[in-house]
Amino acid sequence: AQRVTQPEKLLSVFKGAPVELKCNYSYSGSPELFWYVQYSRQRLQLLLRHISRESIKGFTADLNKGETSFHLKKPFAQEEDSAMYYCALCSGAGSYQLTFGKGTKLSVIP
Amino acid sequence: GAVVSQHPSRVICKSGTSVKIECRSLDFQATTMFWYRQFPKQSLMLMATSNEGSKATYEQGVEKDKFLINHASLTLSTLTVTSAHPEDSSFYICSARVGSSGYEQFFGPGTRLTVL
C-alpha cells in the first residue's frame, strides 16, 4: 500500500527565512510525486511535480529515492506563501489516483 | 489552465433527504474524475474514481449505495448522497484528469454539505 507522510501539521517561519516542508512516501514502485497548495478560501492547485524538475514561485522539490523523500524548499519565505501544502503520490499503475499526505500549514510571520 | 466547477458550493439539507453534487470540467474533456471527502483540518480522502461511461470504483469503506456516482459525459460527474445523515456532513471535492495523458488532477472548489 502506498502512503504519504507529512510529519509537521504546522510550520511557522519568519519572512525571509528558509522553508522546508517535509514529505516522505512509501511505495514499492516508481511513483510520481506532487506538491499541491491550498491558499485561504481557494481550491487545491498543483504547485509542482517531480518529473518536471521546475521551480514554481521559488519553490523546489527533489525526489530522493534513497530516503523516499520529496521535501519542498524555498530559500526565502514570503507572506503570500502562507497556505496549506499537501504532498501527493500517484502510483501511475493505471488508476491515476492520488494519495495525499495530511498536509502542513505554513504560516509566514511578517 | 483547466477549470473544474462544482455546484452547489454549499448545501444544507434535512436528515433523510438526498443531495446531488455536480462536478464539471469547463474547458476540457475529463476521462476520469475523482471524488474526495475532506474533514475539518484533515487531508483529502479519496472516495471513488469515476470513469466516463462505466461504473465508479469505490475505495474501501465507502458505501456505493450511499454515495451514488454517475459520469454520464466527458464533462460531468455527479455525486448523490442518499438518505443523508448528520455524519455525512463534510466538504466534498471533485477533481478531473485531462484526457488520457498526464497524472495531474485539476480540482473543483468543493461543496460544503451540512445535514441537519
Residue type, A53: R
Mean of pLDDT values over B60-73: 92
B63-100 per-residue burial string, b: 16 or more CB within 10 A, e: under 16: eeeebbbebeebbebbbebeebeeebbbbbbbbbbbee
Which chain A residue lies closest to B105 (C-alpha atoms)?
A46
Residue segments in chain A with a per-residue pLDDT below the cut of 50: none
**Three-state helix/strand/coil letters over chain A:** CCEEECCCCEEEEECCCCEEECCEEECCCCCEEEEEEECCCCCCEEEEECCCCCCECCEEECCECCCCECCEEECCCCHHHCEEEEEEEECCCCCCCEEECCCEEEEEEC
Q: What is the pLDDT of residue A93?
A: 61
Q: What is the pLDDT of residue B26?
A: 92
Q: Taking 90 as the threshold, does the pLDDT of residue B36 lie above it?
A: yes
Nearest to B46 among A34, A45, A97 (CB): A97
Q: Cα–Cα distance between B116 and B114 in angstroms, integer?
A: 6
Q: Taking 80 as the threshold, does the pLDDT of residue B75 lie above it?
A: yes
- Minimal CA–CA distance to A73: which of A93, A94, A50, A91? A50
Q: Three-state DSSP class for B87?
A: helix
Q: How far is A57 from chain B (nearest CA, A)?
A: 17
Record: contact B43-A102, CB cut-off 8 A: yes
Which chain B residue lies closest to A42 (C-alpha atoms)?
B109
- Choose the mutation target among B105, B106, B111 for the interface with A, i.e. most A CBs under 10 Å: B105
Q: How far is A64 from chain B (nearest CA, A)?
A: 20
Record: contact A96-B103, CB cut-off 8 A: yes
Q: Taking 90 as the threshold, does the pLDDT of residue B27 lie above it?
A: no
Q: Taking 90 as the threshold, does the pLDDT of residue B31 lie above it?
A: no
